[in-house]
Chains A and B, each alone.
Chain A
Amino acid sequence: MHIRDRKLIPVWEKTQRGERLTMEDGLTMYASRDLIGLGAMAGAVQKERSGDAVYFVLNQKIEPTNVCVLTCKFCDFAAKSGDARAYEMSVEEILAKLSPEIREVHITGGMPPDWPWERYLAIVSAVHARLPEADIKAFTAVEIDFFHKKFRMPVEEVLRQLIAAGLRTMPGGGAEVFSERVRRLLFNQKIGAKAWLDIHRTAHRLGIPTNSTLLYGHIETMEERLNHMIRLRALQDETGGFLTFIPLAFQPGATGIKPANRFTSAADDLKTIAVARLMLDNFPHIKAYWVMLTEEIASLALNFGADDMEGTVGGEKIAHDAGAVSPMALARERIVRLIRAAGKIPVERDAYYNPLHVLGTRVVGKIPYLNSVPFYALLEKRDFRILPVVPRRMGMLGAIGEIDAGPFSLMDYLAREEEMDLMGWCIATRDQVKSVMLFSRGGWRDLEGGRIGITDDTATSVRLLSVLLEQKYGVHATLERLHQGVNDYDGLDAVLLIGDEALRRNKTGLDGFELVFDLAREWYEWQKLPFVFAVWAVRRSVPLREKEELGAMLERALGAVGGDFIPVAGRHGRRIGLTDAETQEYLSGFNYTLGEREREAIAVFRRLLSPAHSGAHAPGHEREAR
């Protein structure tokens, strides 16, 4: 990587060591004129997290009213009742606006003085009933605070009632910039940083993932921007509930704060994306919100740290003016084109960023856990496009033919053996794994008749757990799939976690769950065999030349790693709180070559899964918790 500005090099070295960046580092980055160097640093972090994927969603924005009790200087949306522009939509009008194909409905609006609480709940329930497949993302913290005060209910109660009505996630608006100075000058009627953060903290605790925003390019200082990011980062450490960060470029318009034509500069827009990607080391996604950034800058931003293109919101109008038959389809086409032009693969997502459709070719799945890092060390753009995706979702995408190859979860491979060729590599443990862990309140036999939460990520580990419970211990329990994001474990007798989350919890412990079982060790002690969690497989229809190319690439990668995992995986380990020694020890416990013992282990496991062995109703034990 070429970094021209030498002042950026220490910042990059810190990032590579997995150290946290400070306010000073942020100021150094903003002061640098080396836009390309900064972009390359952020792009490398983006690649490590998201591979070549850029996410978008088919979504729609509903603004039930523009009538608002607040008067904010930078807002030209709000109106007062009686104004010619004021409008209030009925539930029927809202439902009439919904397009059937959308996956996310974004509901925000003004705060009218006279709506009863029931009207908000009615909107959410009606939308949920009309489009049960679509996730509802509704109400900024400012609106939640308004409900809390106006209807005299604790924030938690407001949120609980909205969840019951169908709310799934919350938008990140209303944060503006966390600065009392700016708040007093520009939006003194809005909630401040503390209230905004408290509401998001509560939402995260209740299992509502949220977005976050920063409004930049008005009167704020660079210190204020960075302080804003640092406070978001601190809350994310605490809850892990933020999905994405969205820098919003200030639109001067008729606000009078800046001359109407003085938009943020392209350099500032791209720097802000890059700085955010580097500062917010615990945020999964950074969004280039194309409606505000312009399509041009949003598309460029996909190489400067952003892996998220928002969605079709706002695109309907453009498409409508073009006279398209399906405005939503055209808006989708536009986004897909911009993402492809940036050299990335468009990935249609749901509200939790689960991939629904991958619109690319030569796509190789990557399990986003430390244990599969060594396979991907040598990939260049020419080879294959990488999509990080949790095991269960990789299987789902493989089943619809949208992933060509990858370390498929064993269960997913077994389900589609006829269409897949094994590649000779796997992710297998010798005698323990440390990252497929059952956190339990009691011993195995205490779980009889109990409830076990299982992460949404797992495909094979959950079957291993069933086999252990029923056939090793003769115990019957109900397995409940946890939802995405933060979960409330109260009421569960045990929790199955996998991947980096399991590794982290193995180190820190999980409150209230005193006993921790390593499923690979349980298996080993029982069968005296390794356990194969995933096998590398490639779709049979992929041309032979490409298969060979991929095989050679994996061979080279593992060969280059040898037994020293730190150069390729040290940074990932440090990001999730492991020392280099721990990373080395953890990865040394894996066997990546599919040998005789591994094949035997697969055969034994397959036999145990057959109906003759497992209880007749075994799969039915699993039910969705949501």
Chain B
Amino acid sequence: MTIQSLCDKAIAGARLSPDEGLELLRHGELLDLGAAANEIRFRMNPLPRVTFHVDTNPNYTNICNIDCIFCAFYRHPGDEGAYTHSVETMIRKFRESAANGVTTILLQGGVNPALPFEYYLELVTRTVREVPGVTPHFFSTSEILGMARVAGLSTGEVLRRLWDAGLRTIPGGGAEILADGVKRKISHLKGTSADWAGVMREAHRIGYKTTATMMYGHLETDEDVITHLELVRALQDEEHGFTAFIPWSFKPGNTPLEKIIPEYATPVRYMQMIALARIYLDNVPHIQASWFSEGKKTGQVALHFGADDFGGTLQEENVHAAARFVNTTSTEECIAMIHDAGFAAAQRNTVYDILRVFELPAAAA
């Protein structure tokens, strides 16, 4: 099949096979992918507007026993700069964030084996009770697996108890690349792609909404990218628990992988990832572009390559910062960036309910 006929097929709403996806990724012209992704984006999200949310990404600990070679954030117990915050400290932080208008708190660790399961339950319970107006969006699959080990429970049981404590959404981090050959190389202690998918499946069955992520631009091949997308699509067919798909590029600064991969992937690769995700994931409602992870201008352009969401304003962020990659914004600037890209901006909550719409100023319309 020619590239054009593959694009036409996807635009018409038919599902692409892994081989067809690979063909598009390898041989499609960038703007052919962009045009097809854009058509599909407007079919699935017809309004010419882009959503964002006001969020923050604090961390309760940087102590971690997983030792991923793409990470500049973690410390071992006793290392200089290692920290674990008390629940009280975290709640105080959350209150400050809520006072600043934050509606989503994306909280992740380290996977710190010294923390008892009760710590996590208390974090959720107290957040729900004491910080009204924010949605806790806590704990990646790696941490859920860590809790299960510490507590001697199944991951399903861990998820059920967190649900009972009030947790309703989970971030999609920890997926990296869901192809075990690469996963073993970059994060050999983090579990397999089946582990990630298993936790996500259990979460979706309980009723959690989650995102799915992908970190590319390290050791993965084009085939691995397709394997990843295929796994996400198949899982979504089961319970429809994913709200959005979020790709980002590996940031090599200060990581052990920096020696092999000194630069992060180019913006052209990012557009290919965003567009391909929109074309391939016909059952995931939203594709998130990030002003944060790839730079403001690149993020803006991605809104034309199939993304309909601009992520969060990230009042605090430590993981990319540890890799010397820093971007900051304000709610006003975030809205202006979306307007400059030619879209109305809509503030949403964690599960994509619209809170407020900022129409395009007349001059730009």
Query: Which residue of B is nearest A262, CB measured?
Result: B336
User: Cβ of A17: which chain B residues have Cβ within 8 Å of it?
Assistant: none
In the complex, which range does the number of interface residues on chain B fall in?
35 or more
Q: Is the CB of A380 within 8 A of B34?
A: no
User: Cβ of B99: which chain A residues have Cβ within 8 Å of it?
Assistant: none
Query: For the complex, is A268 an interface residue (Cβ under 8 Å from B)?
Result: yes
Q: Of B35, B267, B298, which contacts A2 at CB under 8 A?
A: B35
Contact residues, A352-393 vs B (CB, 8 A)? 380-382
Query: For the complex, is B107 an interface residue (Cβ under 8 Å from A)?
Result: no
Q: Is the CB of B342 within 8 A of A267?
A: yes
**Segment among B23-31, B118-126, B315-323 that sits at the interface with chain A:** B23-31
In the complex, what distance in Å separates the CA atom of A536 from the CA atom of B277? 41
Query: For the complex, is B222 an interface residue (Cβ under 8 Å from A)?
Result: no
With a 10 A CB-CB cut-off, give which of B39, B295, B342, B343 has the most chain A CB atoms: B342
Query: For the complex, is A402 an interface residue (Cβ under 8 Å from B)?
Result: no
In the complex, what distance in Å separates the CA atom of A338 from the CA atom of B267? 9
**Segment among B89-97, B169-177, B299-307 that sits at the interface with chain A:** B299-307
Q: Is the CB of B263 within 8 A of A294?
A: no
In the complex, what distance in Å separates the CA atom of A476 from the CA atom of B314? 78
Q: Of A43, A266, A381, which contacts B301 at CB under 8 A?
A: A266
Distance of B5 from chain A, by nearest CB (Å): 12
Interface of A (DSSP majority class): helix
Contact residues, B31-45 vs A (CB, 8 A)? 31-32, 34-36, 38-39, 42
Q: Is the CB of B266 within 8 A of A266?
A: no
The number of inter-chain residue pairs (CB within 8 angstroms) is 103
With A2-B39, A299-B268, A300-B268 as given contacts, are A269 and B297 in contact (CB-CB < 8 Å)?
yes
Query: Which residue of A is nearest B339, CB measured?
Result: A265
Q: Is the CB of A381 within 8 A of B29?
A: yes
Distance of A164 from chain B, by nearest CB (Å): 44
User: Cβ of A297: which chain B residues have Cβ within 8 Å of it?
Assistant: 267, 297-298, 301
Q: Is the CB of B298 within 8 A of A266?
A: yes
With A296-B298, A337-B266, A343-B30 as given contacts, are A265 and B340 in contact (CB-CB < 8 Å)?
yes
Query: For the complex, is B101 an interface residue (Cβ under 8 Å from A)?
Result: no
Distance of A30 from chain B, by nearest CB (Å): 11
Q: Is the CB of A39 within 8 A of B34?
A: yes
With A4-B39, A36-B38, A268-B340 as given contacts, are A299 and B301 in contact (CB-CB < 8 Å)?
no
Q: Is the CB of B31 within 8 A of A40?
A: yes
Query: For the complex, is A240 an interface residue (Cβ under 8 Å from B)?
Result: no
Query: Which residue of A is nearest B295, CB measured?
Result: A296
Query: For the complex, is B184 an interface residue (Cβ under 8 Å from A)?
Result: no
Query: For the complex, is A123 an interface residue (Cβ under 8 Å from B)?
Result: no
Q: Is the CB of A341 within 8 A of B300?
A: no
In the complex, what distance in Å separates the CA atom of A331 from the CA atom of B11? 40
In the complex, what distance in Å separates the CA atom of A2 from the CA atom of B306? 14
Query: For the complex, is A72 an interface residue (Cβ under 8 Å from B)?
Result: no
Q: Is the CB of B3 within 8 A of A380?
A: yes
In the complex, what distance in Å separates the CA atom of A299 from the CA atom of B34? 15
Contact residues, A173-224 vs B (CB, 8 A)? none
User: Cβ of A2: which chain B residues have Cβ within 8 Å of it?
Assistant: 7, 11, 32, 35-36, 38-39
In the complex, what distance in Å separates the CA atom of A336 from the CA atom of B265? 14
Q: Is the CB of B266 within 8 A of A338?
A: yes
Query: For the complex, is B221 an interface residue (Cβ under 8 Å from A)?
Result: no
In the complex, what distance in Å separates the CA atom of A297 from the CA atom of B268? 9
Query: For the complex, is B17 an interface residue (Cβ under 8 Å from A)?
Result: no
User: Cβ of B335: which chain A residues have Cβ within 8 Å of it?
Assistant: none
Distance of A41 from chain B, by nearest CB (Å): 10
Query: For the complex, is B131 an interface residue (Cβ under 8 Å from A)?
Result: no
Query: For the complex, is B152 an interface residue (Cβ under 8 Å from A)?
Result: no
Query: For the complex, is B149 an interface residue (Cβ under 8 Å from A)?
Result: no
In the complex, what distance in Å separates the CA atom of A4 from the CA atom of B34? 11
Query: Which residue of B is nearest A47, CB measured?
Result: B29
Distance of A466 from chain B, by nearest CB (Å): 44
Query: For the complex, is A33 an interface residue (Cβ under 8 Å from B)?
Result: yes
With A4-B39, A267-B341, A299-B267 as given contacts, are A33 and B300 in contact (CB-CB < 8 Å)?
no
Contact flags B54-90 to A (C-beta < 8 A → 1, else 0): 0000000000000000000000000000000000000
Query: Which residue of B is nearest A302, CB measured?
Result: B268
User: Cβ of A299: which chain B residues have Cβ within 8 Å of it?
Assistant: 266-268
In the complex, what distance in Å separates the CA atom of A341 from the CA atom of B272? 11
User: Cβ of B203: which chain A residues have Cβ within 8 Å of it?
Assistant: none
User: Cβ of A300: which chain B residues have Cβ within 8 Å of it?
Assistant: 267-268, 271, 298, 301
With A40-B31, A381-B27 as given contacts, are A33 and B39 in contact (CB-CB < 8 Å)?
no
User: Cβ of B356: which chain A residues have Cβ within 8 Å of it?
Assistant: none
Query: Which residue of A is nearest B269, CB measured?
Result: A341
User: Cβ of A303: which chain B residues have Cβ within 8 Å of it?
Assistant: 29-31, 268
Q: Is the CB of A40 within 8 A of B35?
A: yes
Q: Is the CB of B304 within 8 A of A35?
A: yes
Q: Is the CB of A296 within 8 A of B267?
A: yes
User: Cβ of B263: which chain A residues have Cβ within 8 Å of it?
Assistant: 337
Query: For the complex, is B2 an interface residue (Cβ under 8 Å from A)?
Result: yes
Query: For the complex, is B116 an interface residue (Cβ under 8 Å from A)?
Result: no
Query: For the complex, is A1 an interface residue (Cβ under 8 Å from B)?
Result: yes
Distance of B231 from chain A, by nearest CB (Å): 26
Query: For the complex, is B181 an interface residue (Cβ under 8 Å from A)?
Result: no
Query: Which residue of B is nearest A39, CB measured?
Result: B31
Q: Of B11, B35, B337, which contacts A1 at CB under 8 A?
A: B35
With a 10 A CB-CB cut-off, give which of A37, A265, A302 has the most chain B CB atoms: A265
Q: Of A270, A337, A380, which contacts B2 at CB under 8 A?
A: A380
Contact residues, A316-373 vs B (CB, 8 A)? 337-338, 341-343
Query: For the complex, is B48 an interface residue (Cβ under 8 Å from A)?
Result: yes
20 contacts between A and B (CB under 8 A): A2-B35, A2-B38, A4-B42, A35-B301, A35-B304, A35-B342, A36-B38, A37-B35, A265-B340, A267-B304, A267-B342, A268-B340, A269-B297, A297-B298, A299-B266, A300-B298, A303-B30, A338-B266, A342-B30, A343-B30
By Cβ-Cβ distance, the 10 closest A-B pairs, closest first, are A265-B340, A341-B266, A266-B297, A2-B35, A33-B342, A266-B300, A382-B27, A35-B304, A296-B267, A36-B34
Seen from chain B, the residues whose Cβ lies within 8 Å of a Cβ on chain A are 2-3, 7, 11, 26-32, 34-36, 38-39, 42, 48, 263, 265-269, 271, 294-298, 300-301, 304-305, 337, 340-343
Seen from chain A, the residues whose Cβ lies within 8 Å of a Cβ on chain B are 1-2, 4, 33, 35-37, 39-40, 43, 265-270, 294, 296-297, 299-300, 302-304, 337-338, 341-343, 380-382
Extra contacts besides A2-B11, A2-B39, A304-B31 (18): CB < 8 Å: A4-B38, A33-B48, A36-B34, A36-B38, A40-B31, A266-B340, A296-B294, A296-B297, A296-B298, A297-B297, A337-B266, A341-B266, A342-B268, A343-B268, A380-B2, A380-B3, A381-B27, A382-B3
